[in-house]
Amino acid sequence: MPDVNEPSERMKKFKNRGKDAAALRRQRVEVKVELRKAQKDEQILKRRSISITLMEKSPTPEDKNVIVQLSLEEIVKAVNGNNPELQLQATQAARRMLSRQKNPPLNQIIELGIIPRLVEFLSCADSAQLQFEAAWALTNIASGTSEHTKAVVEGGAIPAFIALLSSPHMHISEQSVWALGNIAGDGPLYRDALINCNVIPPLLALVSPVTPVGFLRNITWTLSNLCRNKNPYPPLDAVRKMLPVLTCLLEHEDKEIIADSCWAVSYLTDGSNDRIQIIVDTGILPRLVELMGSPELIIVTPALRAVGNVVTGTDEQTQAAIDAGALAVLPLLLRHMKPTIQKEAAWMLSNIAAGPCQQIQQLITCRLLPPLVELLDKGDFKAQKEAVWAVANFTTGGTVEQVVELVQSGVLKPLLNLLLARDSKTILVILDTISNLFLAAEKLGETERLCLLVEELDGLEKIEALQTHDNNMVYRAALNIIEKYFSGEENPDLQPGTDEDGLYKFSVEEHDFNF
pLDDT above 50 (res 514): yes
- Residue 69 pLDDT: 84
Burial of 500 (0-12, 13-18, 19+ CB in 10 A): exposed
Q: Per-residue pLDDT tens for 304-314?
A: 999 999 999 99
pLDDT above 70 (res 45): no
Taking a C-beta distance cutoff of 8 angstroms, is the pair 327, 335 a contact? no
- Alpha-carbon gap, residue 314 to 365, rounded angstroms: 21
Which amino acid is located at 493 in the chain?
D
- From 242-251, 299-308, 340-349, 503-512, the region with the lowest mean pLDDT: 503-512
Give 385's pLDDT tier (boundaries 50, 70, 90).
very high
Distances (CA, A) of 427 to 420, 473, 475, 477: 8, 10, 10, 10
Taking a C-beta distance cutoff of 8 angstroms, is the pair 208, 164 a contact? no
- Say what percent of the chain tops pLDDT 70: 82
- Alpha-carbon gap, residue 166 to 149, rounded angstroms: 23
- E-assigned strand segments in 408-464: none
- Residue 166 pLDDT: 98
Let me know the angle formed at the C-alpha of 107 by 105 and 109, rounded to the nearest 5 degrees: 70
pLDDT above 80 (res 486): yes
When pLDDT is averaged across residues 263-291 and rounded to a whole number, the result is 97
Identify which of 234, 268, 265, 221 has the alpha carbon closest to the alpha carbon of residue 247: 265
- Residue 301 pLDDT: 97
Half-sphere exposure at residue 36, Cβ-oriented, CA atoms within 13 angstroms: 27
Whether the ω angle into residue 286 lies within 30 degrees of 0, i.e. cis, is no
- Residue 140 pLDDT: 94
Identify which of 415, 381, 384, 379 has the alpha carbon closest to the alpha carbon of residue 504: 415
Taking a C-beta distance cutoff of 8 angstroms, is the pair 311, 347 a contact? no
Q: Which residue has the higher pLDDT, 505 or 142?
A: 142
When pLDDT is averaged across residues 85-106 and rounded to a whole number, the result is 93
- Residue 346 pLDDT: 98
Q: Which residue has the higher pLDDT, 458 or 10?
A: 458
Taking a C-beta distance cutoff of 8 angstroms, is the pair 258, 217 a contact? no
When pLDDT is averaged across residues 313-338 and rounded to a whole number, the result is 98
Exposure letters 75-92 (e unless 16+ CB within 10 A, then b) = bbebbeeeeeebbbbbbb
pLDDT above 80 (res 155): yes
Strand 497-498 and strand 504-505: pairing? antiparallel
Residue 156: partners with Cβ closer than 8 Å, 6 or more residues away: 116, 119
Q: Per-residue pLDDT tens for 2-20?
A: 343 433 432 332 223 333 4
Taking a C-beta distance cutoff of 8 angstroms, is the pair 299, 255 a contact? yes
- Alpha-carbon gap, residue 44 to 41, rounded angstroms: 5
- Alpha-carbon gap, residue 341 to 383, rounded angstroms: 9
- Residue 49 pLDDT: 37
- Residue 66 pLDDT: 57
- Residue 238 pLDDT: 98
Q: Is 508 left (phi over 0), alpha (psi -120 to 50) or beta?
A: beta
- From 247-251, 317-321, 454-458, 497-501, the region with the lowest mean pLDDT: 497-501
- Residue 505 pLDDT: 54
When pLDDT is averaged across residues 117-127 and rounded to a whole number, the result is 97
When pLDDT is averaged across residues 47-72 and rounded to a whole number, the result is 54
pLDDT above 70 (res 421): yes
Give 102's pLDDT tier (boundaries 50, 70, 90).
confident
pLDDT above 50 (res 55): no
- Residue 459 pLDDT: 97
- Residue 501 pLDDT: 52
- From 3-17, 255-269, 295-309, the region with the lowest mean pLDDT: 3-17
Half-sphere exposure at residue 237, Cβ-oriented, CA atoms within 13 angstroms: 6
- Phi–psi pair at 65, nearest 5 degrees: -100, 155
- Residue 386 pLDDT: 97
pTM score, two decimals? 0.85
Taking a C-beta distance cutoff of 8 angstroms, is the pair 15, 395 a contact? no
- Residue 16 pLDDT: 34
Q: Please, what is the average pLDDT of the chain?
A: 87
Q: Per-residue pLDDT tens for 328-345?
A: 999 999 999 999 999 999
Neighbours of 130 (CB within 10 A): 21
Altogether, the residues listed in the chain come to a count of 515
When pLDDT is averaged across residues 386-414 and rounded to a whole number, the result is 97
In SS3 terms, 340-353 reads as: HHHHHHHHHHHHHH
Q: Per-residue pLDDT tens for 129-148?
A: 999 999 999 999 999 999 99
CA-derived radius of gyration, the chain: 29
Give 38's pLDDT tier (boundaries 50, 70, 90).
very low
Q: Per-residue pLDDT tens for 74-94?
A: 999 999 999 999 999 999 999
- Alpha-carbon gap, residue 387 to 414, rounded angstroms: 11
Q: Per-residue pLDDT tens for 182-194?
A: 999 999 999 999 9
- Say what percent of the chain tops pLDDT 90: 80
- Alpha-carbon gap, residue 286 to 342, rounded angstroms: 21
Q: Which residue has the higher pLDDT, 156 or 52?
A: 156
pLDDT above 50 (res 374): yes
- Residue 188 pLDDT: 97
Q: Which residue has the higher pLDDT, 403 or 513?
A: 403
